[in-house]
Amino acid sequence: MNSPLVSPYSEHNNSAVRQTLAKYHSPRLGKSLWQIVNSVVPYLVLWTLAYFSLEVSYLLTLVLAIPTAGFLVRIFIIFHDCVHGSFFKSHKANDLLGIITGILTYTPYYQWKKNHSIHHDTAGDLDLRGVGDVWTMTVDEYLTSSPWKRLGYRLYRNPLVMFVLGPVYMVLIGNRLPRKKMDRKELFSIHLTNLALVGLLILAGQTIGLKDFLLVLLPVNVIGFGAGFWLFYVQHQFEGVYWEKHQEWDYVSSALKGSSFYKLPKILQWFTGRIGYHHIHHLCPRIPNYYLAKCYGESPLFQEVPPITLFSSLRSLTFRLWDQQSNRLVGFGHIRNVRKAKALVSQA
């Protein structure tokens, strides 16, 4: 990985920015432990309340599923920090907590860690798409693809598939399957997570009942992972996003221009571990989530990144393809304009 503190662009490569990043580079044990407490404990309490609410009303269960899903997202942010080695100073402590929170969030730690590392090394690189990112075709790739591939891509980019069916598939199937060329650690994390989940299902079946367990589990996971997928989507699919061919690609530009500043309401910032300061996270992944906002407040460079609000982020739903001619994300409607233009050229 290129150094997050060095860039060929002089405006990025200055001591003030490096000092700001270095100031928040190390985690504090007390803050990390407190975040575990205020994330995992409320999650388990709310999950228990949701279970007992089944005797009252399933509507109440669904209402309780919303904040429970919020804490599930927060636990995933802890998992995410462990992946980057930013939650504890100890590598072993990060790995251990990462495995545990990976089980809580149904995500194999080492397998996800490898893919996410590739994502950070290649975000915004047109020539290295395909691992740990949202599948994004260029206009030319779409036009030259087979009808079946275009149909598959359209289905994949459909919001219902992307934010509801997709997360369910990843949790139930995608994260459960070993793949070719995986190393021992990746396979270990998959098998360990699967074994833990099977054990959890058996325990639930012998105690509270499998049906009641699933009645609580499914809405919490659909809401939580749907929100998580939305966050990841908006972080790299927004108006003005940075994409470049590999030879022109730059790490710092990719971080500051290719990762969004998602300015959420404070309560949502808290539940999402302030991951909305994603431009800072990509610039320096070793900064713990609880320092991202403070880091943002100390550097004019970070504050120059235009914010995306909860309302304006909805525009990202219209983006489907990357147009290399105009260097921007476009919708499927853009295809009609391209075809018309080509038809006019051929007639001329």
Confidence (pLDDT) at 14: 64
Low-confidence ranges of the chain (pLDDT < 70): 1-14, 342, 344-348
φ, ψ of residue 329 to 5 degrees: the values are -80, 140
Phi-psi domain of 297 (left: phi exceeds 0; alpha: psi -120 through 50; beta: other): alpha
Contact 270, 73 (CB under 8 A): no
Q: Which pair of tokens denotes residue 68?
A: 């429970």
| Helix (H), strand (E), coil (C) string for the chain | CCCCCCCCCCCCCCHHHHHHHHHCCCCCHHHHHHHHHHHHHHHHHHHHHHHHHHHCCHHHHHHHHHHHHHHHHHHHHHHHHHHCCCCCCCHHHHHHHHHHHHHHCCCCHHHHHHHHHHHHHHCCEHHHCCCCCCCCEEHHHHHHCCHHHHHHHHHHCCHHHHHHHHHHHHHHCHHHCCCCCCCHHHHHHHHHHHHHHHHHHHHHHHCCCHHHHHHHHHHHHHHHHHHHHHHHHHHHCCCCCCCECCCCCCHHHHHHHHCCEEECCHHHHHHCCCCCEHHHHHHCCCCCHHHHHHHHHCCHHHHCCCEEECCHHHHHHHCCEEECCCCEEECCHHHHHHHHHHHHHHHC
- At which residue do the structure tokens 């997709």 appear? 166
Confidence (pLDDT) at 171: 87
pLDDT in tens, 78-106: 999 999 999 999 999 999 999 999 999 99
Contact 267, 273 (CB under 8 A): no
- In which order are the strands placed within the sheet that holds 137-138? 137-138, 321-323, 328-330
Confidence (pLDDT) at 347: 63
Distance linking the first and last C-alpha atoms of the chain: 49
pLDDT in tens, 14-72: 677 888 888 898 999 999 999 999 999 999 999 999 999 999 999 999 999 999 999 99
Q: How do strand 328-330 and strand 321-323 relate by DSSP bridges?
A: antiparallel
Confidence (pLDDT) at 2: 41
- For the full predicted model, state whether its pTM sits above 0.75: yes
